[in-house]
Amino acid sequence: MSVSTDAGRQATAAPTAPYAIELKGISKAFGPVQANKDISIQVAKGSIHGIIGENGAGKSTLMSILYGFYKADRGEIVINGRVTAIPDSQSAIRAGIGMVFQHFKLVQNFTVLENVILGAEEGQMLAGSLAKARRVLRELAEEYELEVDPDALIEDLSVGHQQRVEILKALYRQADILILDEPTGVLTPAEADHLFRILRGLKEQGKTIILITHKLREIMEITDTVSVMRRGEMTATVKTAETSPEQLAELMVGRKVLLHVAKGPANPGATVLDVENLRVKDDQGVERLKGISLKVRAGEILGIAGVAGNGQSELLAVLGGMQAGTGHIRIKGDEIDLTGKHSNGQTRRARGIAHVPEDRQHLGLIMDFTAWENVAFGYHHAPEYQKNRLFMDNDALRADTERKMATFDVRPPIPTLAAKSFSGGNQQKIVVAREIERNPDLLLVGQPTRGVDIGAIEFIHKQIVALRDAGKAILLVSVELDEIMSLSDRIAVMFDGRIMGERDPRSTNERELGLMMAGVTDGGAA
């Protein structure tokens, strides 16, 4: 089996059909972060090309460059054989490129029609454009099952329908290259299937489609070729027909030595966390958790696997007291409030729950605060940080911070440095140190090693296992399968706000989990 960029070329090369898109040596850096490194791909006309990669791999950045939303530092773009400069979205549209962003770009209180014509109006007056759009939309609807009420307000539409509007926007601008960035991340399986029918229809009409996703199932289901990205680099491009989910997973995660955390067998004790029929609605009133029930016992790590956006974040938020919910949560047997003024981060911490949040930059740390101020974050009421009833004891705090920085090998070990001046990995170490050092009964951990280098990953994993061995309960949420596999004592897979099933890491494999994560239940779900 060939794993090379050539594979991609042979797959689709034909004199009659030049590539719809060719990217040559694209590079893009955001300050210290190299989001794209010398990336080249070719996409044949009338094909569906998939791009997969971990969070932060650089997929969206690459596509944003293709759409003229960002400017590449280096590299050139070739559209239909012609070198095309794409300084802004306007020229991308002119080049026949349409994009459906990860986060929709719709005006909430506008009608579908208004959103569709925005920026593509004919003439100064609206009347004409609206009439035309209404007509065109009707045609498109018939052609590709893209039916939406043209006069509905966006805010009244379901996410799936909003996405259709985005697609319609592109088609209305006669796009023949369509980019979709994680389109199914927000869709229910049914909606996703509908989307794929639409995409196939478009493909038949000779449109070229680039599909960004995390979900292997989708890649296998509808792409012709697929490229894999890792840490800003394009690691491979293969024909879908010639590959397998396992191989793709491997390419995604990289052939790096599967971190083998030295960890003995767990000896679970009494139940610490007992969640029963937990439900959560978001601001839009959409149910994000649909009746979660799970138990975590002392001295064990329960790993929650799942594709981003299937309710893991909400689960952590509720357990951490950041979001209200309904149902029951018991800590060591006694009930805790899920709503009201007694349901917040402070009361949770008082109950011995520590929380390493998924997003260290926006939740776990105040980037403008110094390291020592951040070490008190959430624990600023802790008695050992108080000088007297009035004042905090900043000296004690700084001393404590130095100690923690030493034990967790934070570099540079300077308590007075602003959090934003530490590297991602070291920022994460600060958060982990703060939470683990509280020696909690239950530790909630979200994406503990996202965007963190290998050394730091290993260290953080060690700390988590150590805490387990100290007889504490740990709930680990991660989108990185190998992390789940290597750390967890039990694995629960979440999909669409539900627990799909539970597995023993020793008796399961990435493939089985991957299928469960994709919502493909196998009856055997616990």
Partner 1 sequence: MDYATLLQLLDTTLRFATPLLLACLAGLYSERAGVFDIGLEGKMLMAAMSSGAVAALTGSVWLGLLAAIGGSLLFALVHGVASITFRGNQLISGVALNFIASGITVLVAQSLFGQGGRTPPLTGGARSNPVILPFAEPMRDVPVIGPLYYEVISGHSPLVYLALLMVPVTWWVLYRTRFGLRLRAVGENPAAVDTAGVSVRGLRFAAVMITGVLCGVAGAYMATALQAGFGREMTAGRGYIALAALIFAKWRPWAALYACLLFGFFQALALRPDVVEGVVGVKVPVPALDALPYVLTVLVLAGFVGKAIPPRAGGEPYVKER
Partner 2 sequence: MTKLPKWADVALVPLISLMLAAIVAAIVLVAIGHDPWNALKVMVDGALGSPYGWGYTLYYTTSFIFTGLAVTVAFHASLFNIGGEGQAQLGGLGVALVCLSMPWPHWTLALAAATLGAAAFGAAWAAIPAYLQARRGSHIVITTIMFNYIAAALLVYLLVDVLRPAGQMDPASARFPEGANLPALNEIPGFNLIFEKAVPANVTLFIALFMAWVVWAILWRTRLGYEIRAFGKSETAARYAGINAVRITMIAMLISGGLAGMMSINNVMGEAERLLQNSSEGAGFIGIAVALMGRNHPVGVVLAALLFGFLYQGGAELGLWTSIPIEMRIVVQGLVILFTGALDMMVRMMLGWLFSLSQSAESVGAK
Ligand X SMILES: Nc1ncnc2c1ncn2[C@@H]1O[C@H](COP(=O)(O)OP(=O)(O)OP(=O)(O)O)[C@@H](O)[C@H]1O
Answer yes or no whether residue 265 interacts with partner 1 by CB under 8 A.
Answer: no
Q: Cβ 390 to partner 2, closest distance in Å?
A: 6
Partner from partner 2, partner 1, Mg ion, none contacting 184, C-beta within 5 to 8 A by type? none
| Binding status of residue 336 toward partner 2 by CB under 8 A | no
Place of tokens 């004919």: 122
Binding status of residue 185 toward Mg ion by CB under 5 A: no
Check residue 309 for interaction with Mg ion (CB under 5 A). Answer: no
Q: Are 228 and 252 in contact (CB under 8 A)?
A: yes
How many residues line the site for ligand X (CB under 6 A)? 24
Structure tokens belonging to residue 480: 């990185």
Residue with token string 């694209």? 26
C-beta separation of 481 from 249 below 8 A: yes
C-alpha distances in angstroms, 335 versus 270, 291, 332, 348? Answer: 16, 17, 9, 12
Residue 75 binds Mg ion, judged by CB under 5 A: no
69 interacts with partner 1 by CB under 8 A: yes
- Identify the residue among 42, 47, 60, 370 touching Mg ion (CB under 5 A): 60
Which residues have C-beta within 8 Å of that of residue 468, sequence separation ≥ 6?
263, 266, 299, 300, 301, 474, 489
The answer to whether residue 421 forms part of the interface with ligand X (CB under 6 A) is yes
**In the structure encoding, which two tokens stand for residue 65, read together?**
């460059």
360 binds ligand X (CB under 6 A): no
Burial class (CB within 10 angstroms; exposed 0-12, middle 13-18, buried 19+) of 335 = exposed
Whole-number Å distance between alpha carbons of 428 and 371: 11
d(CA 153, CA 156): 5
**Helical (H) or strand (E) element with 494:** strand 490-495
Letters for 15-54 (x = contact with ligand X by CB under 6 A, - = none) are ---------------x-xx-x-----------------x-
Q: Applying CB under 5 A, which part among 156-164, 281-289, 369-377, 419-427 lies near Mg ion?
A: 419-427
Shortest Å distance, C-beta 145 to Mg ion: 27
Cβ of 363: how many Cβ atoms within 10 Å? Answer: 18
Residue 32 exposure: Cα atoms within 13 Å on the Cβ side = 6
Q: Are 447 and 457 in contact (CB under 8 A)?
A: no
Alpha-carbon distance of 507 to 31, in angstroms, equals 43
User: Binding marks (x or -) toward partner 1, 80..99, rule CB under 8 A?
Assistant: --------xxx-xx-----x
- The correct pick among 78, 392, 396, 515 for binding partner 2 (CB under 8 A) is 392
Q: From the CB of 3, what's the least distance to partner 2, in Å?
A: 41
> Is residue 304 near partner 1 by the rule CB under 8 A?
no
- Binding partner 2 (rule: CB under 8 A), the pick from 136, 141, 366, 525 is 366
Stretch touching partner 1 by CB under 8 A, among 37-45, 103-111, 220-228, 244-252? 103-111
Nearer Cβ to partner 1, position 120 or 366? Answer: 120
Measure the CA–CA gap between 103 and 63, rounded to whole angstroms. 13
Q: How far is the CB of 357 from partner 2 (least distance, A)?
A: 6
Q: Is 84 exposed, middle or buried (0-12, 13-18, 19+ CB in 10 A)?
A: buried
Q: Which residues of 295-320 are buried (b: 16+ CB within 10 A; e: fewer)?
A: bbbbbbbbbbbbbebbbbbbbbbbbb
Rounded to an integer, what distance in angstroms lies between the CA atom of residue 510 and that of residue 18? 38
CB 211 within 8 A of CB 51: yes
Instruction: Check binding of 329 to partner 2 (CB under 8 A).
Output: no
CB 225 within 8 A of CB 242: no
| 147 residue type, one letter | E
When binding is defined by CB under 8 A, the residue of 5, 80, 102, 394 that contacts partner 1 is 102
Closest approach of Cβ 70 to partner 1, in Å? 8
Shortest gap between Cβ of 31 and partner 2 (angstroms)? 9
Q: Which of 189, 291, 424, 471 binds Mg ion (CB under 5 A)?
A: 424
Q: Is 461 helix (H, G, I), strand (E, B) or coil?
A: helix
Contact criterion met (CB below 8 Å) for 185 and 214:
yes
Does 424 help bind ligand X (rule: CB under 6 A)?
A: yes
59 belongs to the binding site for ligand X (CB under 6 A): yes
In the complex, minimum distance from the CB of residue 88 to partner 1, in angstroms, rounded to a whole number: 7
Stretch that binds partner 2, among 148-156, 327-335, 377-385, 405-413 (CB under 8 A): 377-385
Contact between 309 and ligand X per CB under 6 A: no
345 is a contact residue toward partner 2 (CB under 8 A): yes
Residue of 56, 291, 345, 413 that binds ligand X (CB under 6 A): 56
Note the maximum CA span of the chain.
81
C-beta of 55 vs 407, nearer to ligand X: 55
Give yes or no for residue 123 binding partner 1 (CB under 8 A).
Answer: yes
Respond yes or no on whether the N-terminal peptide bond of residue 505 is cis (omega within 30° of 0): no
Comparison of 91 and 326: residue with beta carbon closer to partner 1: 91
Q: Which residues bind partner 1 (CB under 8 A)?
A: 60, 64, 67, 69-70, 88-90, 92-93, 99, 101-103, 105-110, 114-115, 117-121, 123-127, 129, 169, 181
Q: Which residues in this chain contact partner 2 in the complex, by CB under 8 A?
A: 320-322, 341, 344-349, 355, 357, 362-369, 373, 376-378, 380-381, 386, 390-392, 394
